[in-house]
Structure 1
């Protein structure tokens, strides 16, 4: 089953969309999302990690790094009501 997201996962808005039920969680996740972005490929890239140029600009871990993965999970969780994912 495919559910359309209320935001662009590659470029989420700074302010939470109307569907977001946890605005503070959204804002924190967006900050983390912006910090952990891929390093531009090419000879001008200033840092290269163990995966070559395909790394995060913030932590130099292979892309997608753990920080970005947590940010995406945070954005998705901010859109859900607490009982939507099985909490009593």
Structure 2
């Protein structure tokens, strides 16, 4: 955060505040959303398992990934990948 704020010529707190105004999310929540969207894309287009998708997008814990994925998309990643691959979604 410090480096990004410096690149934008802002203090960390000012960067955080402005980032939240623009995105409606904190930088960490935004990063999580991007990771989970990428994982969704991987699960829909690649023949990989949930754990591999989790690790590919930067999660160290597949169980933490599954909890956060289900919270964001309303369905566990394994079931969601089956739905996405079947073309129902």
Task: Compute the TM-score of the two structures, normalised by the length of structure 1.
Answer: 0.30
- Give the number of the structure with larger relative contact order, counting CA–CA contacts within 8 Å between residues 6 or more apart: 1
- Higher normalized helix content (fraction of residues): 2
Task: Compute the TM-score of the two structures, normalised by the length of structure 2.
Answer: 0.30
